Structure 1
Amino acid sequence: MSSPVQSQSPLSMIADAGLPGLLIRELPARGILNLRGQTEQKVFTEAVSSMVALELPGPNASAVNDKLTVLGLAPDEWLLLTAAGDQADLAADLRTAFGSTFAAVTDVSSGYATLEISGAGARELLARGCSIDLHPRVFGTGRCVQTLLAKAGVILMYADDRPVFEVMVRRSLADYLWRWLHDAARDVGFARAGA
């Protein structure tokens, strides 16, 4: 009998970076579903609302409950973030609820790594490689956006007012982005922890 496939982080060889006023760390793996559908179809919106217990947010907004985060990527596209391992059942339940309605749900969990950037220096660091206005009046809690960070395509979410940002990046670019963030942190005047 073969052993189950074990998920491994693309950053397993790199330690978290603690810098004064700033913490960069990789978040544990989670379930990620890409959801496509048309909000004009009542069957679609009712099926999603009944399964996730949240209203679908518009583009560049998020909705959160104790089990799930929904990121609005486009008028007809969302990411559903769940606990690792919960995505398969949720995807199956959604497909059943959709019936013959035009909609799609795809497990993309293995395609992303998520970095958390927190602390007083988080905005300044992200601004070094991102053209999005990150001021709290514009990009506050509950906001998300698809953008470029240091030329890497990312999904950036403002998770809470401490401040805490989450950066979802393709696994193949995770090591590059981690190293860029660490170097940029030094460039903006942060010293390495313990230095």
Structure 2
Amino acid sequence: MTVDAVEEPFRTQLTVRLRDGHTLLGVGLPEPCTFTSGNGVDILWMGPDEYLVLADPGRQIELETALRDEGAPAVVDVSAQRNVLRLTGSHARDVLAHGCSIDLDPSVSPPGTCVQTLFARTGIVLLVREDGFTILVRQSFAGYFTAWLADASLEYVS
């Protein structure tokens, strides 16, 4: 199989608004259109003063408490808002190209890239990783998105 899509259910997702600072949870803040990782979390740049903390399931209370202790003025648990999928395999980039206008060539979108874009008319957050992609899609569009992704993958599955 040259394309593999795996759902990562129940991931912790916390929106953090922060005007000043250089780190969250001991991890450096990402530059625009990137994400940083460390200490068991990914921190995604979502806007000029907005970040999304992505972590393993069940860490909402622990991380929310830690963020408030660090002085984050606004922390909101949005874990139920988006479904998370991992797309890997030698043709993962090709499948995404069917529905996404972002240039995913590694020279343009290297690992560490994080963008909000449309995929087949569905808003997604796309993380480029060394071994593939992480895709966050609103829960209300998840069924449509996975059906579209499965259809786009057919030509690459043996």
TM-score (norm 1): 0.76
Rounded to whole Å, the distance in 2 between the matches of 1:92 and 1:83 is 16
Does structure 2 retain, via aligned residues, the 8 Å contact 1:33–1:79? yes
Does structure 1 retain, via aligned residues, the 8 Å contact 2:117–2:125? yes
Does structure 2 retain, via aligned residues, the 8 Å contact 1:144–1:158? yes
Rounded to whole Å, the distance in 2 between the matches of 1:63 and 1:190 is 31
Letter in 2 for 1:190: Y
Aligned residue pairs, count: 158
1:61 aligns with 2:34: yes
Question: What secondary structure sits across from 1:110 in the alignment?
Answer: coil
Rounded to whole Å, the distance in 2 between the matches of 1:120 and 1:66 is 29
**1:112-134 deviation digits (Å, cap 9, x = unpaired):** 11111111111111011011010
**1:7-60 deviation digits (Å, cap 9, x = unpaired):** xxxxxxxxxxxxx31111112321110011213xxxxx16xx3x5111111221
**1:136-176 deviation digits (Å, cap 9, x = unpaired):** 0011111110001111100000121x3x1011001111111
**1:92-117 deviation digits (Å, cap 9, x = unpaired):** 2322432xx7x311000111111111
Aligned to 1:120: 90
> In proportion to residue count, which structure has more strand?
2
Aligned to 1:38: 19
Rounded to whole Å, the distance in 1 between the matches of 2:76 and 2:70 is 15
- Which of 112, 128, 134 matches 1:142? 112
Rounded to whole Å, the distance in 2 between the matches of 1:78 and 1:105 is 10
Does structure 1 retain, via aligned residues, the 8 Å contact 2:5–2:86? yes
Which stretches of structure 1, 4 residues or more, deviate above 3 A after TM superposition?
Answer: none
Letter in 2 for 1:157: L
CA RMSD of aligned residues (A): 1.6
Rounded to whole Å, the distance in 1 between the matches of 2:35 and 2:84 is 16
Aligned to 1:190: 156
Letter in 1 for 2:65: A
TM-score (norm 2): 0.92
Rounded to whole Å, the distance in 1 between the matches of 2:147 and 2:13 is 24
- Which of 38, 44, 52 matches 2:25? 52
Query: Alignment identity in percent?
Result: 36
Q: Unpaired segments of 5 or more residues in structure 2?
A: none
Q: Unpaired segments of 5 or more residues in structure 1?
A: 1-19, 40-44
Aligned to 1:167: 135
Aligned to 2:102: 132
Question: What secondary structure sits across from 1:90 in the alignment?
Answer: helix
Question: What secondary structure sits across from 1:109 in the alignment?
Answer: coil
